[in-house]
A and B are shown apart, each in its own frame.
Chain A
Amino acid sequence: KAGVTQTPRYLIKTRGQQVTLSCSPISGHRSVSWYQQTPGQGLQFLFEYFSETQRNKGNFPGRFSGRQFSNSRSEMNVSTLELGDSALYLCASSLGSGGANTQYFGPGTRLTVL
């Protein structure tokens, strides 16, 4: 089975722009979660989508949004980029929602904001 895929792998943007990141979960997985990883803050939960519905959201401003499609693929959007948004964005998929479901991670998208 193919693993979690994320596109693009690397992205360079300038302040004020917006960006969309994509995540394709493992086949059959219906839950997709997004995390931001930075040297200063570590790994932080952004949000989770299950069956096209946002189930939970972390403590991030409204500039961070996401959605999930009927095929479980998910996109994350960041508007009005700031320098502090430079990070590795990780997507993880699981069969279902809730703690019993182990999350499997993709390789990440490295976003650099200049």
Chain B
Amino acid sequence: AQTVTQSQPEMSVQEAETVTLSCTYDTSESDYYLFWYKQPPSRQMILVIRQEAYKQQNATENRFSVNFQKAAKSFSLKISDSQLGDAAMYFCAYRSLNNNDMRFGAGTRLTVKP
């Protein structure tokens, strides 16, 4: 079974600085999808970024980018120019090509200091 590990329960970053959130996963599959979701205090899960495993190019969405290392099974999220609104729980998630459930990590709580 696939598992997702986020080894940083909490992270803190100064406003306007850069922070990297770590995620590793375990799978025997070759095709799959990886996601980062953000859950602010309102509890609404918001998609931050998505990566297809067959693509070598790292996904980027404005200030958010990933470092996808398929061989190492690592999928970290980099947030540049951090803003107060980035404060939230961040979840890394894995989804198989054909299986319909999504496996989540335990989450990393990000605090942004003004």
Identify the A interface with B (CB < 8 A).
31, 33, 35, 42-43, 45, 48, 50, 55-56, 58, 88, 90, 92, 97-100, 102-108, 110
Q: Are B44 and A108 in contact (CB under 8 A)?
A: yes
Q: Are B101 and A33 in contact (CB under 8 A)?
A: yes
Give the shortest distance, in Å, between B37 (CB) and chain A (any CB): 8
Question: Which chain B residue shows the least CB distance to A56?
Answer: B100
What is the interface size of chain B, counting residues whose CB is below 8 A from a CB of the partner?
27
Supposing A42-B106, A43-B91, A99-B95 touch, asked if A107 and B43 sit within 8 A by C-beta, the answer is: yes
**A48-B100, A105-B45, A108-B44 given; 13 more Cβ-contact pairs under 8 Å:** A33-B100, A33-B101, A55-B100, A56-B99, A92-B45, A98-B100, A99-B95, A99-B98, A100-B33, A102-B47, A105-B44, A106-B44, A107-B44
Q: Are B107 and A42 in contact (CB under 8 A)?
A: yes
Q: Are A97 and B100 in contact (CB under 8 A)?
A: yes
Supposing A33-B102, A42-B104, A102-B35 touch, asked if A108 and B96 sit within 8 A by C-beta, the answer is: no
How far does the alpha carbon of A48 sit from the alpha carbon of B100 in the complex, in Å? 7
Tell yes or no: B64 within 8 A of A by CB: no
Q: Are B100 and A107 in contact (CB under 8 A)?
A: no
List residues of chain B with CB within 8 A of the CB of A98: 97-98, 100
How far does the alpha carbon of A8 sit from the alpha carbon of B91 in the complex, in Å? 25
List residues of chain A with CB within 8 A of the CB of B99: 56, 99
Supposing A88-B43, A108-B43 touch, asked if A103 and B102 sit within 8 A by C-beta, the answer is: yes
Tell yes or no: B42 within 8 A of A by CB: yes
List residues of chain A with CB within 8 A of the CB of B104: 42-43
Supposing A43-B91, A99-B96, A102-B50 touch, asked if A107 and B101 sit within 8 A by C-beta, the answer is: no
Q: Are B97 and A99 in contact (CB under 8 A)?
A: yes
Give the shortest distance, in Å, between B91 (CB) and chain A (any CB): 7
Residues 83 to 105 of chain B near chain A (Cβ within 8 Å) = 91, 95-105
